[in-house]
Structure 1
Amino acid sequence: MELDYKEIGKRVKIARIRADLTQEALAEKAGLSITHMSNIENGHSKLSLPMAVALANVLSVSVDEFLCDSVIHSKEVFSHEVQMLLEDCDDYEIRILTDLLKAAKDTIRRDMKLKQQE
């Protein structure tokens, strides 16, 4: 399996923004150069495990949050992400999003059944 470093970088950036840190501040706290920090967030540099742990510790998140797009069993991370997306929604938005989610789930399961029959 190939790791998607662009997605990992996006998730590092999101966690940094949530932590209200600049790239420069995160780089300094994690012991990285600003250029290297920028390259990680843009997916141009591979992230080593020790570096991922250092960033996760500075940002007070789990390394799972960075890797969830490459790990099959990431339900907890994605469930949390859905909860965060719904946090600022009003009743109408929640109803529409729930309908969309149900439709998407039905489509996925129907597609899986068709693939099993092939």
Structure 2
Amino acid sequence: MVLNYEAIGVRIKAARLNQNMSQERLAELAGLSTTHTSHVENGSTKVSLPSLVKIANALKVSLDELVCDSVIKSKAIFEDELAKTINDCNEFEIRIISDMAKTLKASMRKNKILN
């Protein structure tokens, strides 16, 4: 299993921005340098487990939320993300997204993608 450090960094940055937190503040709360935090967010460094735990605690998120792109059993995280994504959609947008999801699912199953 290979960890996707770039995806982890993207999730860290998204969680930080969602809380209107600066990178400097995250670094301070996690006890890390701003430079290291920047490298973690852009995926140019392999974040250690202790640092990842510090970051998750500083952001008040679970490790699952940060590493779900690298974990097979993360369905609940993606279901929650999908619900948040469509939460503010109007009727037309939700209909289009639903149609696209059904079509994508059928295509994936037909072609046995990720099975």
Percent identity over the alignment is 48
Q: Deviations over 1:51-109 (max 9, x none)?
A: 11111111111101111111111101100110110011111100000000000000111
Rounded Cα–Cα distance in structure 2 between residues aligned with 1:112 and 1:34: 44
What TM-score, normalized by structure 1, do the two folds share?
0.93
Give the structure 1 partner of residue 67 of structure 2.
67
| Structure 1 unmatched runs, 5+ | none
Give the structure 1 partner of residue 37 of structure 2.
37
Note the 1:84-99 alignment, pairs <5 A. 84-99=84-99
Note the 1:1-118 alignment, pairs <5 A. 1-112=1-112
Larger radius of gyration: 1
Q: CA RMSD in A?
A: 1.6
1:2 Cα offset (Å): 1.1
Q: Deviations over 1:21-41 (max 9, x none)?
A: 000000001001110010000
Instruction: Say which SS state the counterpart of residue 112 (structure 2) adopts.
Output: helix
1:110 Cα offset (Å): 0.6
Instruction: Return structure 1 stretches of 4+ with deviation > 6 angstroms.
Output: none
| Structure 2 unmatched runs, 5+ | none
Question: What is the number of residues matched between the two proteins?
Answer: 115
Instruction: Say which SS state the counterpart of residue 89 (structure 1) adopts.
Output: coil
